[in-house]
Amino acid sequence: MLGLACSGVSPRLFLLALATHNLRRLLQTFEALADLGPALTGETDFQANALAMLRASIDAVGAREGVLFTFSEKPALLRSAAVHGLAVLPDPALIPLLPKHVYALSHAPGATTVPPEGGWQNFLSTNGNVAPQLFHCLAPLRVRNRLVGVLALGRAAESVHYTPEALEVLELLAHYIALAVHNWLLTHSLERRVSENLRLLASLNTFCDRALEAFAVAIDVKHVQIHGHSVRVGHYAAGIGEALGLEASEVAALRSAGYLHDIGKVAVDKRLFAKPERLDDDEFREMADHTLVGHRIVAGIDFPWPQLPEVVRWHHERADGSGYPDQLRLDELPVQSRIVAVADTFDAMISDRPWRPALDLGQALSEIVKIAPQKYDVAAVQALLIQVRRHAVDPNRSRFLDERVFCNIGPSDVDNLASELNYRLTQGRTQVDVTTP
C-alpha cells in the first residue's frame, strides 16, 4: 500500500480509497494509467490512442459507454475522437458549443455528473448530431485552463450514479488524457498549417511561373521568327537541369531564368531582328547589349532565384572566353548560366532565322557537340543528349522537344554523338555513358 502511495497517485485519492476500501478501483486506476503510457508518449496513432484512453477511463470508473471529444475553438465544437459502447452514434459525433458552455466546461471544478433530468444544458447544446442526454458524467479536458476536449461518459455500470471516488479517478485520468489530446491538437494544427502554406506556396509558384511565361512571350513578340524562343529556352534549360539531377527548386529556377534570359531585348530595335544580312558592328553591339540591359532590369528585382541576374548577363558567355559581355571562361560561370547557354543555342539552331533556315535536330546536335568543349559546358551538353535520347525512345512520355521539332535521329544516333562528345572532351582517355535513363 505504501508503494501505491508513493507511486504518483495523489495522497487524497489514496486516502479516499483506503477510507472506502475501494482498493479495486484504485488498482484499476493504476492499470488505466499504465495503459495510457503508450498513448501519452505518442507511440501509436491518435485514433488508436483516443480509443485506448477512453476504454481505460470507462474501465477505471465503471461506466458502460462513453465518448472522447476533442474541442476546437473556431467554431466552438466538440468532435468525437473515440466512441465506446454507443454503436448508433454518428461518426464523427459533433456538439456545437455556445460561449456559456465553453465557459462552464473551462471553469468546472472537475469531473461532474449530469443527471438526465437536467444539468447537461449548462455544458452541452442540443444543436449537434448527438443527444447530450446520453451523457451522465462529464470530465472537461483542460491544459493550463484551456479546454481541449471532454470525456463524456454514459450510464454507470454498477449503480445509477457515479460515486465521488469514480469522479476522483476520472479527474486524475482526465489530467493525463488532456495532455495527450493537447499534444495531438498542436501537432494536427501544425501539420494543417504547414500543408496550407505549402499549398499556398505551390499556387504562388504556379502563378509566378505562368506570369513569367507570359512575360517570356512578350519578350519575343518583336519578330515572328523568335516567337516562343524564351519559353522554349526555359523548357529546355529545365530539362537539362533535370537530367543533371538538380533539385526541383533549382529546375524551377532554371525554367524562370530561361524565360527571362533575353529580357534585355525589349530595348533592342526590332528592325535588327528581321535583318537578313549580317549585323554591322554598331548593330551587333546594340544586340549584344541586351545582356547588360537585361541585367540592369532584373538586378533591381528581388527574385527568389539569386542566379537569375547572372544568367541574364552571362548566357552569351562561352567556355573559352570568347563570349560577351564580360568574356568569362567556363570556370567563372555559374552552372545556371552554362545550362541556359546550351538551351539558348540549341533552340536558336533548330529555329529559322532571317539570315538562315533552321538546322534539323541531328545537324544542330552535331554542331553543338563539335564545338562543345571550347564553347559550352560539356556536362550540360551531355544532359541535353540524355533528354533528346529519352525523347527519341518515347516521344509521348518524354515531351522534351517542342512539337514543331521533327526528331530525325534515333537513340543509337544520340549514343554516337555522346561518344563523339566524350572523345572530344577526353581525347579518347575515358568513356561517358549518356544512355543511362
The neighbour count for residue 207, using CB atoms within 10 Å, is: 10
Q: What is d(CA 33, CA 57) in angstroms, rounded to the nearest whole number?
A: 9
Closest to Fe ion by CB, 112 vs 230, is 230
Q: How far is the CB of 321 from Fe ion (least distance, A)?
A: 18
Residue 262 touching Fe ion (CB under 5 A):
yes
Give 3-state DSSP helix, strand, coil % of the chain, rounded to 5.
Answer: 60, 10, 30
Closest to Fe ion by CB, 71 vs 314, is 314
Closest to Fe ion by CB, 174 vs 237, is 237
Closest to Fe ion by CB, 262 vs 413, is 262
**Piece of 35-43, 210-218, 247-255, 259-267 that binds Fe ion (CB under 5 A):** 259-267
Q: How far is the CB of 223 from Fe ion (least distance, A)?
A: 14
Number of residues that bind Fe ion (CB under 5 A): 1
Q: What is d(CA 381, CA 389) in angstroms, rounded to the nearest whole number?
A: 12
Closest to Fe ion by CB, 52 vs 263, is 263
Which residues, numbered 301-360, are part of the site for Fe ion (CB under 5 A)?
none
Cell numbers 533539385 label which residue? Answer: 247
Q: Where are the beta strands (DSSP E) in 47-155?
A: 66-72, 77-84, 94-96, 112-113, 137-143, 146-153
Q: How far is the CB of 404 from Fe ion (least distance, A)?
A: 20
The β-bridge partners of 353 are: 356
Q: How far is the CB of 229 from Fe ion (least distance, A)?
A: 9
Count of alpha carbons within 13 Å of 38, Cβ hemisphere only? 12
Count of alpha carbons within 13 Å of 138, Cβ hemisphere only? 27
Q: What is the dihedral of CA 402, 405, 411, 413, to 10 degrees?
A: -140
Q: What is d(CA 305, CA 253) in angstroms, rounded to the nearest whole number?
A: 6
**Piece of 258-266, 281-289, 367-375, 394-402 that binds Fe ion (CB under 5 A):** 258-266
**Piece of 236-244, 260-268, 306-314, 400-408 that binds Fe ion (CB under 5 A):** 260-268
Residue 220 touching Fe ion (CB under 5 A):
no
Q: How far is the CB of 233 from Fe ion (least distance, A)?
A: 9
Q: How far is the CB of 331 from Fe ion (least distance, A)?
A: 22
Closest to Fe ion by CB, 165 vs 262, is 262
The residues of the shown chain that bind Fe ion, judged by CB under 5 A, are 262
